[in-house]
Structure formats: C-alpha cells, structure tokens
Structure 1
C-alpha cells in the first residue's frame, strides 16, 4: 500500500498563494488556452483552499494527468474535484496521496509512471487551481467516475457529467433518487423562460441491494460493459 508522505493542514487562500509563489509553482504553457472552457470558468464553484506539501500537489496532478484527456481542462478539474471530495469524506484516506494511492481506485502506476506530455505544465496549473479551491460545478459532491462508454449493472448510479473521457456519478440511496424524481416533476414558474426548462427529468432509478463500489477508469471487466465499453476495456492498460 502507498504510504502517506506528509501531514497537511487547511490554510486561508492568501497563505496558499504565498506558498505557491515561494515554491515556484509551474505556470501553464497555454496548451489548453484554446480549449473552450468558458462554461466552467464563469460558473465554477470554490471551496476552502488546501495547503500541503509539493508531494501532495504532485499526487493530485498525477491523478488528473493519468485519469483524464489532457486537452480538456473541464475533465482535469472534474477529476481533481473527485479527489478532493474523497479527501473530505471519512470513508477515504486523509491525505491526497492516500486517496490517489488507494488500491484499485485509480489507474495502475498512477504514482510511479513518468508524466511525459507537453500538456504537463497545464495539468499542474489546473491542479494548483483545485488546491486553491476551484471545483467543477457539475461534479458537486460526486466521488466516483469511470471511463466514458462503459455501462454497469448497478441501479444506484446517478450520472452528473461526462468530460475528459470519463463519466462522473454519485451513489444515491432510494430516498435520494426519489427526491430527484420529485424535483423533476415539479412545475416550473410561469415567469421562467421556456428555454430554461429541461426537456426531461433527471434519470433516477431505485437503489440496488448491496452493490460494490464500481472502480475507476481502467478497472472494469468486459462482461460488465456494453459492446462499446467492452471494446474499450479490452484495450491495453498502462504498465507500472
């Protein structure tokens, strides 16, 4: 098992910015500047800034680097949001490196493989933004994702976003799913523009009895996927 490298603490955003300046944090190269990310930039949500060691920064960047399409800042921030959501949950390790290094959760070799890409500076910059408090607004409190195109036989998975080659979802119980159905059936205010009314209610289905946590992107069996998903699952996995 991967060992935690440091003890971390939460500090005000100003302290994190100062720490970043003193440490000489990597600046982006602009590789992602041409990607259309205005939707996440204009509506992004923020959380309390998180301050840790450079090793924790690297662990977060590694999860974002190996688990998302690197040309999509949207997808990078979404993966980073999942990592931070897990960090805040008592069900997962209490450090970023512990979360990313948890067995059978992220891509094999995520903590040891070489990060070799021209987009690396931009990945690091996105990781810094997440550490400063940026969160993907659509991910909200979701703590799970898997490779886009796969399907699983579990009926408690509420999908919230597809970005960066991944589908992000929440695990909800029967009561939470019922609440989503009820919200979808509520009439809209007459003053609301028709363009803002969703075409259909959110997908919501009953909770399955005692289902395991579906693992993340690479850890899926072909028999648990649809035809497209099975093809993706049979592709060569990265080596450690």
Structure 2
C-alpha cells in the first residue's frame, strides 16, 4: 500500500512540463508496468528536488546528465504505460510517496551488482533496487532486497 505524505509536495507550483518530466522518469525507469515502481522512482525524484545536492525542480533533476535512462527527456512515450506514468506523476507531485523509500535518492537496475560499501538498500520494486548512501558502518542492508510488489 502506498501512502501520501503531509504538507506541500513542492516549494512552488509545478508546471505541466514538470509533470511530463516526472512521467518520463517513471516511464523509462520502472519497466513501464509497475505503478509501485513508478511511485518509487517519483519519490526518489522528489527527494532529490528537496535536497540541496540536486537541482530544485523536477525537470532539473530528471534532466541531469547520466542520472536517468538515456533519452529520458526526448524519446516518445506511448500506450497504457504512458497514461499510467502521467497519472502516477500527478499523484506523486500531489504528495503520494512510496512508503519504503524514505530518504533514498538513488537506485539502479535490480540485476546490477554494485560493489560499493556505502549502499543501504530500502526496497526493490519496478525492476530497480533503491538505496540510501550512508557511511559504511551505518549500512545494515548492503544487498538489494527481494522484489516488493505493492
């Protein structure tokens, strides 16, 4: 079950372009069929928007070089998955968040084997493993978790 979070979803109203940017990140990063995975990707995007370490707009975050799938800002979206991504983008911008993401700002494909000692995994969903970067001694979940279907 996915949960909303209280308060405003952003520091300023988001434009239709920013809804499109969010939908693009969700569509191209979450295997296009998992709403749960889309909400997880969107939660990471919003965590980055609210972080001083990343741009403070959705399009700024999604458009960052080498952060999201190649062509995320330019490839066409189509079909039922595109509709789902747009609807889910609106829900995330309105405040819905994935309950297992918490403060995570990073993810990679679930099949990828990373060898860094600062990756604390919080959930695997939509074909991705989501994680927080922590000091190595604070990592209690150093390997991707079994896939979550919410």
Q: TM-score range by the shorter chain?
A: 0.7 to 0.9
- In terms of fraction of residues, the more strand-rich structure is 2
Name the CA distance, whole Å, in 1 between partners of 2:132 and 2:20: 26
Whether the 8 Å CA contact 2:117–2:136 is kept in 1: the answer is: no
2:141 corresponds to 1:203: yes
Q: Structure 2: which 5+ runs fail to align?
A: 144-150
1:142 matched residue in structure 2 = 104
Cα drift, residue 117 of structure 1 = 2.2
Cα drift, residue 204 of structure 1 = 5.2
Name the CA distance, whole Å, in 1 between partners of 2:112 and 2:9: 34
Runs of 4+ residues over 6 Å off in structure 1 = none
Which has more radius of gyration?
Answer: 1
Name the CA distance, whole Å, in 1 between partners of 2:39 and 2:141: 24
Q: CA 1:204–1:69 in structure 2 vs 1: closer, same or farther (change >3 Å)? A: closer
Cα drift, residue 203 of structure 1 = 2.7
Cα drift, residue 123 of structure 1 = 1.2
Name the CA distance, whole Å, in 1 between partners of 2:135 and 2:21: 31
CA-atom RMSD in angstroms? 1.6
Name the CA distance, whole Å, in 2 between partners of 1:203 and 1:159: 5
Name the CA distance, whole Å, in 1 between partners of 2:26 and 2:33: 11
Q: CA 1:53–1:156 in structure 2 vs 1: closer, same or farther (change >3 Å)? A: same
Q: Structure 1: which 5+ runs fail to align?
A: 1-38, 178-201, 206-240
Q: Which has the higher contact order (CA 8 A, sep 6+)?
A: 2
Whether the 8 Å CA contact 2:120–2:134 is kept in 1: the answer is: yes
2:146 matched residue in structure 1 = none
Number of equivalences: 140
2:125 corresponds to 1:163: yes
2:8 corresponds to 1:46: no
Name the CA distance, whole Å, in 2 between partners of 1:145 and 1:68: 11
User: Secondary structure of the equivalent of 2:108?
Assistant: strand
Query: Equivalent of 2:73, from 104, 107, 111?
Result: 111
Name the CA distance, whole Å, in 1 between partners of 2:125 and 2:38: 8
Name the CA distance, whole Å, in 1 between partners of 2:77 and 2:141: 37
Name the CA distance, whole Å, in 2 between partners of 1:137 and 1:59: 22
User: Secondary structure of the equivalent of 1:159?
Assistant: strand
1:60 matched residue in structure 2 = 22
Map Cα deviations across residues 7-60 of structure 1 (whole Å, 9 max, x no partner).
Answer: xxxxxxxxxxxxxxxxxxxxxxxxxxxxxxxx22xxx14142332111111001
Q: CA 1:110–1:204 in structure 2 vs 1: closer, same or farther (change >3 Å)? A: closer
Name the CA distance, whole Å, in 2 between partners of 1:151 and 1:119: 27
TM-score (norm 2): 0.87
